[in-house]
Structure formats: C-alpha cells, structure tokens
Amino acid sequence: METIRSAISRDAIIVADPTMAAYWATRGMPCYEPRTYIAPHGWTSIGFAFPAALGAKMARPDRQVIVISGDGGFQLNLQELGTAAQCGIKVVVLLFNDGHGAYCAIGSATTSAVATFATDLKNPDFVKLAESYGLAATRVNGRQELLGALGNALGRDEFHLIDIQTPRGFSEFV
C-alpha cells in the first residue's frame, strides 16, 4: 500500500473490490480526502470495483481513479473493458493476480468446513485481453516494477491495466 500511495495523488479515488489486496488497503491505505476510498463492506459481491471506478471517473474526470481488484473478482465484470475503451474512461486497474483466478477468501473459508467447489478458476492473459480492446496494459513482478508502471500510467493519463503477479499471495509481494 505504501508503494501505491507514494505514486498516486493525495485526492486520488481508490475503488476496491472485496479481495485480499483490498483488505490490506482497507487497513493500510492512507486517505486524506472525503469520498476517496470506495469499497463495499464485509462479505459482499466481488466484481464491484471495476464498474464502480468507471462511474467514479465519469463523475470526477479531474481525479485519478485507481481500481484494486483480484483476478477472480475482475473476471466478473471484465466486459467493462469494452465500456472503458468505447467511452475513453481513463482509470488505472491494479489487478492482483495469484495465477489461478481462485476465489481465495471463499476457498479458504470453506476448506475447513466443507469441500470447496468452483473456487479455482482459469485465468485469461489479462494483458492481452486489455490490449485486444486497444487499452494499455503491463505485467509486473515486484514493487519497483509496480511503482514504475503506475507512475507511467498516471503520467500518460490513460486507461491502464497493471497485472500484478502475486503467485505466493499478496502478503509476499516484494
């Protein structure tokens, strides 16, 4: 969260999905202005962040809008890449990708109680998917790469999906 906060403006709007990365953001992302951190609370529907961020950017085109999402949740509304491309909506998507599209919170919550079902998913290549819509996308493997990609995306004032590789989980991202 320190890496992300160091790159974005003080009044950036952060829209977070109920995902492991966003749980870290809820605990550790400093926010300085009212209405700059938007996230559903508790066990709510994943997939919220991307379409909500598009709406936030339309309402506040003067602000940086950052999406924090996981790979599983992002897939619930990835068709909104078409909306972003068609309408020229310039948000930055930080997609935390553990490599298997798992609904981690659901899978870990149910593993001890019952057998899991349909919590491990197949991921597309998110970079190629965004590029197929004519949108910019980058894959990163560490904090320094994330900082560079995020700074570049914000400096260009364009839609940019940053596929953040977290194969060992978000907490081990270095």
Percent of the chain with pLDDT over 90: 58
Tell me if 85 sits within 8 A of 93, measured CB to CB: no
Please name which of 5, 52, 53 lies closest in space to residue 28, comparing C-alpha atoms.
5
Distance from chain centroid for Cα 68: 3
C-alpha–C-alpha distance, residues 157 and 34, integer Å: 23
With beta carbons less than 8 A apart as the criterion, state whether 165 and 140 touch: yes
One of 2.40.30.10, 2.40.50.140, 3.40.50.970, 3.40.640.10 is the CATH number of 2-168, namely 3.40.50.970
3-state secondary structure of 74: helix
- Tell me the longest C-alpha to C-alpha distance in the chain: 48
> Nearest CA to 57 among 166, 172, 158?
158
Q: Do residues 137 and 161 make contact, with C-beta atoms less than 8 angstroms apart?
A: yes
Whole-model pTM: value is: 0.87
Residue with tokens 């809820």: 26
What is the arithmetic mean of pLDDT over 43-60?
91
| Residues written for the chain | 174
Residue type, 24: W
Model confidence pLDDT, tens digit, residues 119-161: 567 889 999 999 999 999 999 998 999 999 999 999 998 999 9
The domain locations on the chain are 2-168
Nearest alpha-carbon partner for 64 in 128, 118, 15: 15
User: 10-41 pLDDT, tens per residue?
Assistant: 999 999 988 777 777 777 788 899 999 998 87
